[in-house]
Chains A and B, each alone.
Chain A
Amino acid sequence: MASTKKDPVLVVLQLTGGNDYLNTVIPITDPLYRDNRPAVGVADERILKLNDKVGLHPTMGPMKNLWDQGNLAIIHGVGYANSPRSHFRSMDIWHTCEPDKLGTEGWLGRATKEIDPNKENVVTAVSFGPSLPRALALPTVPVACVDDLDSFGLLTGINEAEQRDKILDRFTRLYSPTIGTGAVMDYLGQTGLDSMKAADILKVAPEMYSSNIEYPDTTIASKLKGISQVHQANLGTRVFYCDHGSFDSHSNQVGMHDKLWTDVSQAVESFFDDLRENDAADNVIMLMFTEFGRRVHDNGSGTDHGAGGVAFLAGDAIKGGEYGEYPSLRPEHLEQGDLVPHTDFRSVYTAIVEDWMGMDAQPLVGGVFEKPAYF
């Protein structure tokens, strides 16, 4: 890999709903896998074997390509102690790094503030999707939330340029902070001003973009394509966020999981192909995580909420391979029927923040955690 002075970029792909670890990275030689998965187990001959112990779900061929290239890290048994098994709470914990009390500030919001403390660039963090993930939430930190790059702009319905400029100018003054109006008014004011600036900056991205890579026609592919467009426009964005779901496979898991991983794997491969073709891949890594894994024993059609799960890191800078052991499936080692995580999710964050983003992780993740050598 050619050395580069380009700033490191993190893309987070959130697998919302609790992705089933056991059917994503499958412990092929463990007889307990078969015993526990009479209804939703993946047939042996369909598993994409990575070595003599584990294999990927059959729809994850494009992810296996990343593995074969040495660019996919599988992070086994990730989670935290005393999983509440609630989507809501668990996602909050991953977002805020606060497993014991309720946090409102996100770890990536803190990272964004660290990268750009003076708010010099309102597109330092860009999220694709209709809502702002709590991982990026931090008062005073701007995040551009983009649904569709092409329609991202303020008062675009006013056709006459002079009139629009006049109103936008007034808008800027109206949204400027006034003293003592309260936190929500301040937040609205800042969001309004930042969004105007962000729209001005981001509108160049689709215009500058060209690529020979055809992305599939799926929602996750269009989000990742948007990320690629903004990244390739060199606007200084360092943190990208998107999500896909729902992975909440309580029932009909087989068809559901097939479709989800088909879409995610293909989109991720297109994304990296696109970046590589345009010489924009070497400073990008992607973290894929989910709020919890699912119960070891299936429920006859799907799987209920569990604890320990699997995360992935992908990218040219990633040292591919397995990190940590597959947690034991033996009944005496389970907690309430769930895998016990051995790797705290904050140790993954720590490695990303320190070894990739080049910042001190402790204030961002709220503690000192051992960091595996993913890079």
Chain B
Amino acid sequence: MANQDIALMAHLMRRAGFGATREELEALCEKGYDNVVEELLNPTEEPLDRFEMMRYQPWTWRPGTLPGMGAAEWLWWMVNTRRPLEEKMTLFWHHIFATGVSKVDHYDEIQNMITLFREQGMGNYKELLLGMAKNPAMIYWLDNNDNHAHAVNENWGRELLELFSMGVGNYTEVDVRECSRAFTGWTFEAKLPRGPLGRHDWRFEYRPDDHDNGEKTFLGESGNFNGDDIIDIVCQHPATAGFIARHLYNFFVADEAQVPAWQVIPPVDEDAIDALTDAFIESGYDIKATLRVLFTSDFFKNARFAKLKSPAEVVVGTLKLVGGAGFPAPGIGDLSRQPNYMGQDLLNPPSVEGWHTGAEWINSGSLMRRINFTADMVGDTSRPGVQSIVSRLRSQGDVGPEQFVDICLDLMGPLDVSSDTRQELLDHAVPGGSLNWSNEDAATERVSELLQLIVSLRDYQYA
């Protein structure tokens, strides 16, 4: 099989999912790139069975306010789903509609939001936005339950415009105010005190008596607007399609400047943003149609290793590579906290702005955590994925140091590295001579050490 096909398929699966094993990549290559894109967009595999997780890890079913347990259930999905793009889009929307348990204090409701992303994340953006406006966790996160006809709370109204649709610079403070007025009365049923089994469910409620029925002027249009009118107007604004297109590019293609810089720093690839924006508008804000354009474009195919992995991608990608995280075994709670140690506390973003991405994932502390976690994982030769790499190597018989390094780089990606880096790895491997399987333990140990070195590479931090 042509190595370029494998490399391209690996790229697609790292971006549109969380990576794939070599066995999976080979099977996918048989199907052909475009067919795989269609399968990712229209998955036919069954979703995971939540009951399986519940059976073994009951506290993940309704974690209530148990720290970490909400993220554990999601981690299990990300690692084990057979519908990888659906799950990646779930993460994408969580980056944008960043909602945190630190304030909401109700994992079940945040999980419901995650489920909504999973079910509607590739549907229509306008409907998704409306879904967010009615989502109780979001309402509480941005205080719209405290947005009353006679006491306007601007939190949701502002962030809807700044972070969820148009971006800063496309509206005035008056627009924020008028937008917030239009969403008065959008709340959820009264919160009940905590019950013996945790919190009660929250349900969206529209209270006409608490809605400001006055005339509003928003983005130059006037009328007795309600929240859905605002979302209509926002979606007609050209800035909105461009904003979402840039988010898609930043998440799936290559690292962009940080969001607040977007009004002054032009996109890395203006043509790509234009193509995505056009696709988004022409399809009536259909996310799937836009993703199809993205994944089949040359700008995507040529963007291998053009972005840094997020902590979620590091952890999930590593777990998929080394295997053994399929069964909802004990320890998943600890694993689910790993992205947090690297700077991405899932279901608990640092603020409504979500996370700064790209190079800002990296600092001295987070880089050490990334390296330590991945090195520990690939250094564990009892893991099925590591064993599979070892047995692939063994099937080649005794190989010289050069081949040893090249095969490992290939099986860990294929990973592109500079000639300097390859030379360093070679210098490391040469003193041990050929990889000789007559002493199986010693050979396995050498593989394990080289894999640890490979995941420690700068190059390995890229997706």
Contact = CB atoms under 8 A, between A and B. Distances in A.
Interface of A: 16-17, 84-89, 92, 101-102, 127, 130-132, 142-147, 152-158, 163, 167, 170-171, 173-175, 178, 181, 184-185, 187-189, 191-192, 194-195, 198-199, 245-246, 248, 250-252, 299-302, 304-305, 336
A158 B379 contact: yes
Contact of B363 (A85, A170, A189, A191): A191
Contacts of A101: 264
16 contacts: A87-B352, A102-B264, A142-B364, A144-B365, A146-B365, A157-B375, A170-B453, A174-B456, A174-B458, A184-B359, A189-B458, A299-B151, A299-B154, A300-B150, A301-B153, A302-B146
B104 to A, nearest CB: 12
B430 interface: no
Contacts of B173: 85, 336
Given A131-B360, A246-B102, A301-B153, A152 B260 contact: no
A145 to B, nearest CB: 4
Interface string B289-311: 00000000000000000001000
Nearest to A192: B367
B365 A163 contact: no
B379 A157 contact: yes
A101 B261 CA distance: 9
A224 to B, nearest CB: 17
Given A131-B350, A167-B452, A178 B259 contact: no
Contacts of A174: 421, 424, 453, 456-458
A283 to B, nearest CB: 25
B260 A89 contact: yes
A250 B461 contact: no
Contact of B343 (A86, A131, A157, A178): A131
B183 to A, nearest CB: 13
A154 B146 contact: no
Contact of B168 (A84, A127, A184): A84
B351 A152 contact: no
Contacts of A152: 365, 368
A155 B363 contact: no
Contacts, number: 165
Interface in B151-191: 151-155, 158, 162, 168, 173
A13 to B, nearest CB: 16
Most buried by A among B143, B150, B358, B369: B143
Q: Which 7 A-B pairs have the closest CB atoms?
A: A300-B151, A195-B364, A145-B365, A132-B363, A145-B363, A251-B146, A157-B376
B366 A145 contact: yes
A88 B359 contact: no
Contact of B372 (A154, A175, A245, A302): A154
A158 B449 CA distance: 10
Given A185-B458, A192-B458, A299 B363 contact: no
Contacts of B255: 184
Contacts of A147: 341, 365, 369
B420 A178 contact: yes
Contacts of A194: 364
B364 A198 contact: yes
A195 B365 contact: yes
Nearest to A174: B424
A125 B419 CA distance: 34
B368 A199 contact: yes
Contact of B452 (A155, A189, A246, A248): A155
Contacts of B155: 248, 250-251, 304
B362 interface: yes
B78 interface: no
B372 A88 contact: no
B364 to A, nearest CB: 3
B153 A87 contact: no
B381 interface: no
B57 interface: no
